[in-house]
Structure formats: structure tokens, C-alpha cells
Structure 1
């Protein structure tokens, strides 16, 4: 095989890899247009798909603005085949205006079949601008093949998305913005939070460090009537005490050393929207007094000024500190506590969320692989087991960090246990059972408990999660005296499932 052929084969494989890496139609379709430009040496491309293939009618132009010949598109649709026009051809009367106006050398356009209808309404359009070399018969044949392969890849992406949505429904997976969960614990939290979104009253979110308190706060804001207004977040425990008042309420020029101009505080920046006060339990007592006054009177005064400025913000605060204990120790004011505690949400730690850890890991892998331009990654079954076995003291934030590192270390885009750098064995040794039988029972009970919680006591779904037969699951549950009724919702739904 000569070097030129080897180079061409390598480029072809790279092209296919680019297309296959995109897992959803929304990610794939723009890539098809870009790759078409590269493969066929075009100056511009347009891919238009009706709503059947994407969530809504889709049109992607590469570069971003391309004037196309509607006559060429119409003819390709009518003839249901790829068509080619060159400036030098005689049969261009119907599109000569487009060629002349846009100074084009040639055009190729082909219908692009959609997966849910026999009516061809999509198309892929390529053009070369004023150049000596127009598209020829070889490019047209290659274009035909490219469109055919791209359609198949697009169909597969659509089917994968449909299958994933169906599987998500089966597994009880719910997505609320950037929040993803299948556990009953998180379902209860979101159900509670949904009752708060429309109300202007303060909300406090409690939970261990790294559980996603700010993520939930942003979601609450995005669902509220204030969604179009700013969301401003500050960490009360990360600001030097001498700067907190200025950052909260702003200051006027010359009010203190270094105040070279007048600046707004976060209350003014969040006007009309939401102010998220993270780690409010770390706020110094003197600032707690001033914050309480703002919450009572709805106005602030900048440092160095005596003018009162009205503010209209919704306060969402968060803490990992036990505020009740802090009040007893006089580290947190009781009157402020009752001001911010109007509505309370407690986020469970990741170790209590069962299969959610896998959903979150998949989302992080997808997000950062796309950000780093690395392609699509998968977790091995062994890696999934390690993710479920680890206790996650750093919660979701620790999981995000471990997945980012794993992407850089994984071979062939498959994340293995070693890539995650989780010392699960050492954790288990701390409380090791005395006998193998005891160890097996502890392990079986833990994984079955998690599966039953995630499936709401549905034995069929729990067995699917565990990868065993339903009858086997029943036998193990009887041996361990685990009752499915303990995992059912109180509503009484699904009584006949098992």
C-alpha cells in the first residue's frame, strides 16, 4: 500500500471516528456538515433536518452564514438523488442567478432521509466559491456515499437516543436541568423543592460539603418567576472579614483605603433575581446583624454612605454547619436563623443516593470529554462496581474530580478502576467482618438495599439493576429477611407489579 493511499485511509478512519463519537443527533448533525466540508473540499455546507430527527427543526450552516440555492434544493428533493451544478454547465438556467450573485463555481446537494418518515424533507448542501476546480463526477460519487453513510449514523444516533430515553424511564431516571437522579431520596428532595420555586420566601439548603447545594439553588432560580433576572452566588466563608460588608452591600469612593471608586455589592447586582449565600453559617456575628436588618427592611446602605437603597432579591442560603448547635453556642443568631429558615431542604450525601453515582459519573464523563475534545468514554463494569462501593466523603464534588482525572488516564476511552484512584479496599478493611459468610451477607444486603431503593421495591427492575434473575433475587431476600414492602411508596401504586 503506497503512502498516499495509507494517508487517505487514515483520514477516512479519522472522519468516521469523528462522526461515531457524537452520541446524540443534536451533537452529530453539526459534525456531519463540518466533516462534509473537509472530505469534499467545499467552502460551505448546510444541513437541514425536519423535526422528526431532532427535537425541533434543525438547520446548521458551516460557516455560520451561507446563502443557498433554493432551486437546487428543490430539484434534489424532487428527483430524490444527489445533483450537481457547475458554472461551466449549460443546464443551469434555473439557478444561474444564485451562481452569479454568490460567485459560485459549483453546487452539490442531496436529500437527507429522516428516520421516522418516508418523506424526504432534509438535505445536505455543499458549494465551492470562485475557484478553478468545480465539483466533478468523482466528488459526486463520494458525496453520494458520504450522505448514505451519514444517514445511517444519524439513524443510529436517533435510535440510541430513543433507547436511552426508554431506558431512563425504565430505570426511573429524571433530569431537572443539570440535576440527574434515580434515587427516591433525590426524588423526594426535588418534589419538595418544586413547591418552593414560585414563592419569594427565603430557602435554606443543608447538606454535607460537595453535595450540590449551589446546583440545586441555581435550579430553583431557573424555575422561578425571577429566572430572567441575575443569579449571584458568594461563599460567606471564603471572604476576608474586613471585606464582607463591602462585598455584600457595596461601597462609595474613598470610604476606606483602596476604595478608589464606587462599587455595587452583590445585593444590588442580584436586583430582581436571586442571591445565593453559601456557607452562611460561617458569617461573622457582626455581619449577621446587618444581614438580618436587610432581610427585614429590604434596603441596603453602602459602606461610607448613609443613603438607603431599596433591594428586591430572593435569598437562598446554604450550609453544612449544624445551625441549631451553632445557636446554642452563640455562633449564629436565633433571629437570623428564623428569617432564613422559612423553607428548608436537606440534600442527602452521595453515599445514600445509590445508582445516582453512576448517572452523575456518566454525565461528568460526557461533559468533560466534550470540553477536552477527547471523544466518548465508557465505564467498565468493574469501574461501576468501584464507584458504587466507595463512600464518597467529598460527595458529588469528589466524584466530579475523580472522573476528570480518569479521562486523562484511561486507555482506549474505557475507564477502569485504576483510573479512578479510589481506595475502596482500605475503606472496607476499616470495618472488616470476621468470616467470609458474614462478609458476603453484608455485601449482598448493601447492594440489594440500594437496588430496591432505586427501583421503589420493584423486584423486576431491581433484578435488572443487579444483573441477576428475579427468582434468584427473591431467594437471597428471603435468606436475608429483606421485605420488598419496606421499599414501596406509601401511595399504594404498583401493588400488582410483583
Structure 2
């Protein structure tokens, strides 16, 4: 083997090792196409697998839009091996594609199903005219790459099938990024499924960090609008003076800094779904304008007088008690009835039982892979600590705790100290009769200590606890704790 062949083989081996890191077919298949481009120095690639191998037909193009030669694909399937065509070859149909698309050469290989002689898909590579054509040696390398990639793909499908079978035995359900086994989540998802095909507005209620946007994205993905955009904004994070421009867009020169004309999120989400997070924080002036859009289905950009029709589904979310906000004249009652045609209540993590362990496992797997670490396991003590803790920051806090634990854990085993939950539990000094009482006592003790250390400063106390200020304020309201009492202590 010459030096060039050895170098190519070494590069191929390194790339194949990257493929082994991908755990699911959905992650693996796009990676195969990209790696093929890298190792064979191609300009573009297409990997296509029909439904006989996957639950749904799969097609991935790298870059996003690639024109392919159907004649080349058909020939590769007929010959059942990797095939190569260059500009100099005499095949009229394929030569037309090469000339039309300004290519130097094309390589295609069948991508087989586990049945040895059944061709199910193909991997397609091409080089543009500015590059040297593929060589016979590269064709052999391509054939080897596809052969190994097929085996890796089949293993990924088998692992996914095994996982689904195991999930079914354990009573675990997965809906996109949502995983659960609890009855509270099952009831909420069953209710959500009734809304999927309807265009009516939905409001998702739940504490901060419970995953309201994750749920909204899943609803969109299962709706007739799934192929259209999903656009999300946080109404509580946008300055009031910019809110109208961000929602409805503006024209050039409409205000200082408007150097060009821009679309708002309503236009960006055209035909799809607009997710308005923390809608309870929307200023009253903008509530009036939002109501008008929902009633009349058109928007007007800032600085313009033209009405632009819009067709979007509104999914909003809030942790605020809107009924109370209406009584206090902080939220318009007419807007309330517009956005709350259908309502979903997302339960807090403390009411989801074993779900906390399922989510922790998924987070550990995801971040261990992202950080390039090994496979991690939770000790029994760590599992008990997770179940005993109330998670005031909900799923977002759990994700944060698991990320930290991966860095601190030894020998890939996560212990309670790595999760930083054991210190919180030691502060519980009373003997409650119920789990709910235990969690409330734990929350109260920890927040009390943080507020004392922060001299009643809510922002500093939230930083000490590692949660968002809004989360801390919400928990204090639930526990009837007043920050003013701690400011009196300071004085």
C-alpha cells in the first residue's frame, strides 16, 4: 500500500470513528453524508432511504439543495455497487446532468437494507468542475465507506428499536423531546393531542422551567403547519419601545436606527406557529395591538399604513395567574378570551414522580456525548436524592444540575454530592407528614437562608440559589414569603 492509500485509509478510519459517536438514526444519517463529503473531498452529497428501512422516508442533502442525476442513481441500483462517471464517459443521460450542473464527476452507491440483496436507498456524491474528477481508488474507498456506514446505520436502527421496546415495558412515552411515564403528563399530552389539527389558539400554563416552549414545538411539529416556520419570542425579555417593531416589523426610516425595512415575527411565522412566551408580561399598549391582529388577521409595520394579511397559529405561555392579572387591570380580559380558546396545564417537575429520573438520564446522555465524555450512570443514592428534591426551577434546573454533575463525577458514576442536592436536604429539620409538606419545608429553609445571606436582595438570593429571579419570586409567592421581612432584619 502506497503512502497516499495509507493516508486515505487513516482518514477514513478517523471519520468512521466519528460516526460511531452518533446514537440515533436521525443524528447518524446526516452525519454519514457530511463525512462522505469530507473524506472524499466532494462538493455535495445526498443520502436517501425509503420507508422500508425507516418508519418514514429519509432524505438528506448537503448542502441543502442538490440537483442529482436520476440516471446515475438508477444505474447504481442496477449494478448493486459503487459506480463512477466523469465528463469523459460516454453515457449520454449522465453526461447531460454533468454538463448541465457544471460538474466534473459523480459517484453513487446503493445504501442497502439488512436483507443482503435488497437495495433500499443510495448515497450520492459529486464534484464541481473546478476540481479534479473522482479516481478509481476513491471509488473503491467510497464503496468501503458505504459498506461500513450501512452496518453502523443498521446498528443504530436496532438500538432505537430496542430502546422503544424497553420504553414500552417500562411504561415510558416519548413525544419528540418530551419524555414521561407519569399520569399527570399522560393526561396533559392526551388533551394536547386533541388540539393538534385545529388552528385555534392555545395557551400553556406552568411554572418557569417546566418546558412550555418544548411542548409548543411538539404541538407545532404534529400539526398541519409542521412544514412551516415555528417562531418563538419571550414577551418579558423585549424592551417595550422595541416590542411593536419586533412583532409587526418596520419600514426604513420609521424611527432612529431603522436603516432598512424588516419583517416582524408575525410575517416570519407566516403559515406556521408563533409562540408568545410569558405573554402575561406583555405591556397593556401592546395587548391592544395584539388583540387587533388576532381579530382582523392582518398587521401593519411601524411607519407604514399598508395592511399585510397574516396566517399564523398563536400558542402562548405564561406562569402568571392571568385571572388575577385581569382583576388588577394588568391584563386585558378581551385578549384573555382570544388566546385561551384551548388551555394546557404543564405540571411542575415535583409532581411528575419518576419522570425526574427519565429526564436526568436523557440529559446525562446528551451532554456526555456533547462534551466528548463516556457513558454516565446515576448511583441509587443519587436517584433517591433526585426524587426527594423539589426542583423549584423545574426541568431547567434539573438540566443545569446534571450538566454540573457530569463535570464533577468520578469514574462516570454520578453521586448526590455531584448533583449538589445533599446539602439542600440536610437543611430540612422538621418531620413532615406528607411529601408535599417535606418539599415545602425544604424550599422554605433554603430560600430563608439565601435571603438572609443576601440581606433581602431578591436578585442576589436568586444567584445564590442558582435559579432565575422570576422562579424565586414565584416560589416565594406560593410559600407566602415576603422579601420585605428580610429587609427589616437588615435594618
TM-score of the aligned structures, taking structure 2 as reference length: 0.63
Secondary structure at 1:242 match in 2: helix
Secondary structure at 1:318 match in 2: strand
**Change beyond 3 A, Cα 1:233–1:431:** same
Match of 1:238 in 2: 237
Contact kept? 1:183, 1:356, Cα under 8 Å: yes
* Deviation, structure 1 residue 180: 2.5
1:217-236 to structure 2, matched below 5 A, reads 217-236=216-235
Q: Deviations over 1:171-191 (max 9, x none)?
A: 222222332222222111111
* Deviation, structure 1 residue 279: 0.7
Match of 1:342 in 2: 341
Unaligned runs of 5+ in 1: 1-6, 86-94, 103-107, 447-498
Contact kept? 2:298, 2:310, Cα under 8 Å: yes
Secondary structure at 1:163 match in 2: helix
Q: Separation in 2 of the partners of 1:48 and 1:225?
A: 24
Q: Separation in 2 of the partners of 1:44 and 1:267?
A: 34
* Deviation, structure 1 residue 352: 2.0
Q: How many correspondences in the alignment?
A: 423
Q: Separation in 1 of the partners of 2:405 and 2:358?
A: 16
User: Are positions 1:423 and 2:420 aligned together?
Assistant: yes
* Deviation, structure 1 residue 399: 2.9
**Change beyond 3 A, Cα 1:150–1:272:** closer
Between stretches 63-72 and 310-319, larger displacement belongs to 63-72
**Change beyond 3 A, Cα 1:294–1:427:** same
Contact kept? 2:267, 2:310, Cα under 8 Å: yes
Q: Separation in 2 of the partners of 1:60 and 1:311?
A: 31
Q: Separation in 2 of the partners of 1:109 and 1:201?
A: 46
1:75-474 to structure 2, matched below 5 A, reads 115=114, 156-368=155-367, 372=370, 374=371, 377-382=374-379, 383-407=382-406, 414=412, 416-417=414-415, 421-432=418-429
**Change beyond 3 A, Cα 1:258–1:37:** closer
Q: Separation in 2 of the partners of 1:276 and 1:303?
A: 21
* Deviation, structure 1 residue 280: 1.0
Secondary structure at 2:317 match in 1: strand
Q: Separation in 2 of the partners of 1:251 and 1:145?
A: 55
Secondary structure at 1:393 match in 2: coil
Q: Deviations over 1:170-223 (max 9, x none)?
A: 122222233222222211111111112222222111111111111222222233
Q: Separation in 2 of the partners of 1:271 and 1:187?
A: 31
RMSD: 5.5
Secondary structure at 1:337 match in 2: helix
Secondary structure at 1:378 match in 2: coil
**Change beyond 3 A, Cα 1:392–1:241:** same
Secondary structure at 2:231 match in 1: strand
* Deviation, structure 1 residue 159: 3.4
Q: Separation in 1 of the partners of 2:397 and 2:366?
A: 16
Contact kept? 1:53, 1:116, Cα under 8 Å: no
Larger radius of gyration: 1
